[in-house]
């Protein structure tokens, strides 16, 4: 896709979020619904439980009732890839990456429909079950690759090396995003099953036993997923690269946790009181969690890929390269001639100025606002530069800079002197 004009970039990103939001819950239900259906079908046959098999058949029929849906999903994912590329062209997600997503996805989608077709035949046990499980696995693989790609967008330093080392695509953060997708998919699927059960119970000639069984299964599945999800969210935040973090992201995550808790509360109520009509609110909550997840993913990308952060990283890298010869003896002798404060100024200009100006916010806060807090506290300032701690939720954390002890001393003295300490 051609490079997008800057004034259209906002629109492109908006559409990107929209595509994510529209297709992820659908795929989630497709994957979650068919996986649950297969497990119940197999278990129902082994244990000869008619309820289980009836439930499994209904569930499969629901998730695959529309062949157009599979096409739409494949189309949405292809669009998703195009828009990712258009919104973040420097990342250069390659055609090979697109294939690694689209091939398993289409194979998986086709496999699930084939499974449905084979299930009532005598081939069910030898052919249909392995095929069905492999199809769900293939779809999960497609999303694993896609979400690892999304996580890779947060590590621009690795983009240039990717073509020679495709395994760089894998990361803990990618795995965390995939687990979030999986947990949320099971939650929406459970919520959908709960709704289906509620509809069954409302029919005139109800099999009360069966419809309650369906509702209970849905609520239990969704509850397990919603309870496991906060741990995965924390894992995601923990593995997020430093530059991707921001105050907004933490706030959004906190709101999502509250919604997750509320959803768990609704599900518990519906398990205890089967008459409660909570399926619709549970679905809304699960969709909100999906939306929250997609938005935080977007925030993390924007935080990482904004021009200032990239420029800062560039500068840090060149500062790192420039530092190498400074450690040779010749440079050390030259360094002796210059007073420490001058050296401090040099360090400041070389390293800190990428992220700090005195009078205005850049990546980090304006120094005239934070330095007075260190007046008379040279050691405190040195300790912070040596090992920066998270301070202000409005900013990403300051990274460890790996400066030599004399450089830290020099820059701290220089800064405190400039504020007249």
Which listed residue (401, 410, 413, 416) binds ligand HEC by CB under 6 A? 401
Q: How far is the CB of 300 from ligand HEC (least distance, A)?
A: 15
If one asks whether residue 365 binds ligand HEC (CB under 6 A), the answer comes out as yes
Angle at 134 between CA 128 and CA 137, to 5 degrees: 145
Closer Cβ to ligand HEC, 334 or 349, answer by number: 349
Give least dist CB 238 to ligand HEC, A. Answer: 17
Give yes or no for residue 344 binding ligand HEC (CB under 6 A).
no
Q: Which of 98, 299, 316, 416 binds ligand HEC (CB under 6 A)?
A: 316
Gap between the Cα atoms of 326 and 332, Å rounded: 7
The count of residues interacting with ligand HEC (CB under 6 A) is: 25
Count CA within 13 A, CB hemisphere, residue 350: 20
411 binds ligand HEC (CB under 6 A): yes
Least distance from C-beta 90 to ligand HEC, angstroms?
A: 19
**Rounded-to-integer distance, Cα 418 and Cα 371, Å:** 10
* Residues 109, 122: Cα–Cα separation, whole Å: 22
Give Cα 419 to chain centroid, integer Å.
Answer: 42
Q: Are 51 and 214 in contact (CB under 8 A)?
A: no
36, 101, 249, 355: which one binds ligand HEC (CB under 6 A): 355
What distance lies between CA 349 and its chain's CA centroid?
Answer: 35
Tokens of 49: 């439980």
Instruction: Indicate which single residue of 384, 409, 410, 413 sits in contact with ligand HEC (rule: CB under 6 A).
Output: 384
312 binds ligand HEC (CB under 6 A): yes
Angle subtended at Cα 287 by Cα 36 and Cα 181, rounded to the nearest 5 degrees: 55
How far apart (Å, rounded) are the C-alpha atoms in residues 39 and 325? Answer: 63
244 binds ligand HEC (CB under 6 A): no
Chosen residue from 354, 382, 410, 416 binding ligand HEC by CB under 6 A = 354
Length of the chain: 421
For residues 192 and 365, which CB has a smaller minimum distance to ligand HEC in the complex? Answer: 365
Give the whole-angstrom CA distance, residue 272 versus residue 254.
27
Contact between 249 and 299 (Cβ < 8 Å)? yes
Sign of the torsion angle spanned by Cα atoms 356, 362, 368, 369: negative
399 is an interface residue for ligand HEC by CB under 6 A:
yes
Among 119, 184, 364, 416, binds ligand HEC (CB under 6 A): 364
Among 94-102, 269-277, 299-307, 350-358, which window interacts with ligand HEC (CB under 6 A)? 350-358
Using CB under 6 A as the binding rule, whether residue 382 contacts ligand HEC is answered as no
Please report whether residue 356 would count as binding ligand HEC according to CB under 6 A. Answer: yes
Whether residue 375 contacts residue 416, with contact meaning beta carbons closer than 8 Å, is answered with yes
**Is residue 79 a contact point for ligand HEC (CB under 6 A)?**
no
Interface contacts to ligand HEC, rule CB under 6 A: 312, 316, 351-352, 354-356, 363-365, 370, 373, 384-385, 390-392, 395-399, 401, 411, 415
């Amino acid at each position: 896709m051609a490079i997008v004009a800057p004034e259209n970039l906002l629109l492109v990103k908006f559409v990107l979020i929209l595509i994510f939001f529209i297709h992820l819950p659908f795929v989630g239900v497709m994957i979650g619904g068919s996986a649950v259906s297969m497990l119940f079908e197999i278990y129902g046959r082994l244990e000869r439980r008619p309820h289980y098999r009836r439930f499994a058949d209904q569930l499969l029929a629901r998730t695959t009732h529309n062949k157009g849906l599979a096409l739409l999903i494949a189309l949405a994912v292809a669009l998703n890839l195009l828009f990712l590329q258009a919104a973040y062209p420097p990342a250069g997600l390659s055609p090979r990456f697109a294939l690694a997503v689209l091939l398993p996805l289409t194979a998986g989608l086709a496999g699930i429909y084939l499974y449905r077709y084979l299930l009532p035949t005598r081939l069910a046990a030898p052919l249909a079950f392995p095929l069905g499980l492999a199809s769900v696995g293939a779809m999960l693989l497609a999303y694993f690759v896609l979400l690892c790609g999304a996580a890779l967008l947060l590590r621009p330093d690795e983009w240039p090396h990717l073509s020679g080392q495709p395994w760089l695509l894998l990361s803990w953060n990618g795995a965390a995003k995939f687990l979030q997708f999986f947990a949320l998919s099971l939650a929406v699927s459970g919520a959908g099953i709960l709704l289906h059960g509620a509809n069954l119970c409302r029919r005139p000639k109800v099999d009360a036993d069966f419809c309650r069984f369906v509702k209970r299964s849905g609520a239990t599945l969704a509850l397990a997923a919603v309870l496991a999800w906060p741990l995965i969210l924390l894992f995601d935040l923990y593995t997020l690269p430093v530059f991707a973090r921001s105050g907004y992201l933490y706030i959004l995550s906190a709101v999502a946790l509250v919604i997750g808790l509320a959803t768990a509360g609704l599900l518990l109520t519906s398990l205890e009181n089967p008459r409660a009509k909570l399926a619709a609110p549970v679905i809304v909550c699960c969709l909100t969690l999906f939306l929250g997840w997609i938005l935080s993913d977007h925030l993390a990308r924007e935080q990482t890929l904004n021009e200032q952060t990239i420029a800062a990283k560039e500068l840090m890298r060149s500062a790192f390269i420039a530092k190498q010869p400074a450690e040779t003896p010749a440079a050390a002798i030259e360094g002796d001639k210059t007073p420490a404060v001058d050296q401090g100024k040099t360090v400041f200009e070389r390293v800190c100025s990428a992220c700090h100006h005195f009078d205005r916010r850049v990546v980090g806060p304006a120094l005239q606002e934070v330095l007075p807090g260190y007046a008379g506290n040279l050691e405190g300032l040195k300790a912070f530069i040596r090992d920066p701690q998270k301070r202000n939720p409005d900013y990403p954390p300051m990274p460890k800079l790996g400066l030599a002890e004399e450089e830290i001393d020099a820059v701290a003295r220089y800064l405190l002197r400039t504020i007249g300490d």
